[in-house]
Amino acid sequence: MADKKDHVSPPTITQVITQLLDRGAIGVVVTVMRGPAIGSKLLIDEENIVAGSLGNTELDALVKTPAAEFLKSHHETRMFSVSDFAPDFPLASERLLLFERLQPAPRLVVCGAGHVGAALAKLGSFLGYQITLIDDRAEFLEDGRFPEEQIKTVVADDWQKAVRDAIGNGRGVSVAVVTRGHNEDERCMQAVVRANPDYAGLIGSKRRTSIVIDRLSESGATEEQLKKIHAPIGLDIGAISPEEVALAIIAEIVAARHGAAGGSLSARRRKF
């Protein structure tokens, strides 16, 4: 008698979502809010891998294009009528779909645990970021200074390795280099430009940051990599104290994450 093969059920959409987030990828969950198969869900990741269904294989295929466009945007959620992208589909105007972005929890890697770095780590954790705070001086990373659960401290024997390990695949990661000098800045930035995080910023005057960027260029960093560096880091709010500087930095990081310009809201009103 032939052996029976074990039947392996396909993973549920919940399991696929967990796997997606664990590997640091992004995706969109599409839910039928009105029309046939209400409540049905389809998950599409950035590589066009699909799990679930909207109850119609043709609709599953048609929704991939707006899903890809949605992922390129910075929207967290958006409602679509099927008529918005497939007007000839049966009952298109009666079908309403909710698009919801899936992405890892935002992470912030802070290089340098001096006054600005410490303030930035604490402010970032308050805003919901998972923080990795790196310094080569163990006394600056004593447990009593950072009791917050969201702040992980790393004593760097090798700046480049510590930064590279902290960034990982770079997805959902912002990096702020706020060390005490050119040499530390450069070692950190050597790792940062090659890891390609979502955001990278370097503290310092225009002259100081230009020196570091020139050295990165000399060591082989491409023009495209260098253009992504926010230097000097932060929005111009006239910051003076370490806490104010940290506020300027985190404001720019949040703006970049949401695709915003970071300008004054009241300036928009004055244009009209």
Q: Which tens digits make up the pLDDT trace of 223-233?
A: 999 999 999 99
DSSP conformational letter for 180: S
Task: Please say if the pLDDT value at position 265 is more than 90.
Answer: no
Q: Check: CB of residue 120 under 8 Å from CB of residue 246.
A: yes
Mean pLDDT of 151-169: 95
Distance from C-alpha of 52 to C-alpha of 89, rounded to nearest angstrom = 20
Q: In what order do the strands lie in the sheet with 77-81?
A: 50-52, 41-45, 27-34, 96-102, 77-81
Write down the pLDDT at residue 2: 47
Q: How confident is the model at residue 8 (pLDDT cuts 50, 70, 90)?
A: low
Other Cβ atoms less than 10 A from the Cβ of 89: the count is 15
Instruction: Give the length of the chain.
Output: 272
- Is the bond leading into 232 cis (omega within 30 degrees of zero)? yes
Distance from C-alpha of 4 to C-alpha of 155, rounded to nearest angstrom = 54
Percent of the chain exceeding pLDDT 70 equals 95
At residue 92, φ and ψ (nearest 5 deg) are: -55, -45
pLDDT digits (tens, 9 = 90+) for 13-54: 888 888 888 887 889 999 999 999 999 999 998 888 788 999
Q: Check: CB of residue 209 under 8 Å from CB of residue 202.
A: yes
Write down the pLDDT at residue 233: 97
Distance from C-alpha of 95 to C-alpha of 85, rounded to nearest angstrom = 11
At residue 181, φ and ψ (nearest 5 deg) are: -170, 170
The token pair at 1 is: 């008698």
Distance from C-alpha of 162 to C-alpha of 156, rounded to nearest angstrom = 6
Distance from C-alpha of 223 to C-alpha of 212, rounded to nearest angstrom = 14
Q: How confident is the model at residue 120 (pLDDT cuts 50, 70, 90)?
A: very high
Q: Pick the closest to residue 116 from 138, 140, 139 (CA basis).
A: 140
Average pLDDT across the chain, whole number: 91
Mean pLDDT of 87-102: 94
